[in-house]
Amino acid sequence: MNTKFIEQAKRLQGLETTFTVFSQAIKTPFITCDEETFNDQVWVFVTEDQAKAFCKKRLEENQDILMVVKMENNQLLPFYSSLYFLGVNELVFTEEEKTTKMPLEDLVREPDYSKLPKEQQPLLNPQMQLTGIYFMQELHRRKPNNEKPKLRELEEEMAVNLVRSKFLVALEVDGEKIEKGGKNVRIPCVKNSEGKMFQPVFTDAKEFGRFNKDKNFKASLVEFVNIKKIINDNVEGMVVNPQTLNIVITKDRIPVLLDRFAAKKED
pLDDT recorded at residue 266: 46
**pLDDT tens, 38-47?**
999 999 999 9
- pLDDT confidence bin for 267, thresholds 50/70/90: very low
- What pLDDT score was predicted for residue 237? 96
Helix or strand (DSSP H, E) at 158 = helix 151-163
> Which pLDDT score, from 0 to 100, does residue 90 have?
97
**DSSP letter (8 states) at residue 122:** P
Residue 3 reports pLDDT greater than 60: no
Least confident piece of the model among 58-72, 73-87, 124-138, 167-181: 167-181
Q: pLDDT tens, 84-96?
A: 999 999 999 998 7
DSSP 29: B
Question: Is the entire prediction scored with pTM above 0.95?
Answer: no
pLDDT of residue 5: 63
Q: What share of the chain is helix, strand, coil (3-state, %, to 5)?
A: 40, 25, 35
User: Mean pLDDT, to the nearest integer, of 50-62?
Assistant: 95
Asked if 46 and 92 count as a contact pair (C-beta separation under 8 A), the reply is: no
Q: What percent of the chain lies above the pLDDT cut of 70?
A: 93
- CA neighbor of 231 nearest in space, from 177, 187, 194, 179: 187
- For the segment 158-178, the average pLDDT, to the nearest whole number, is 90
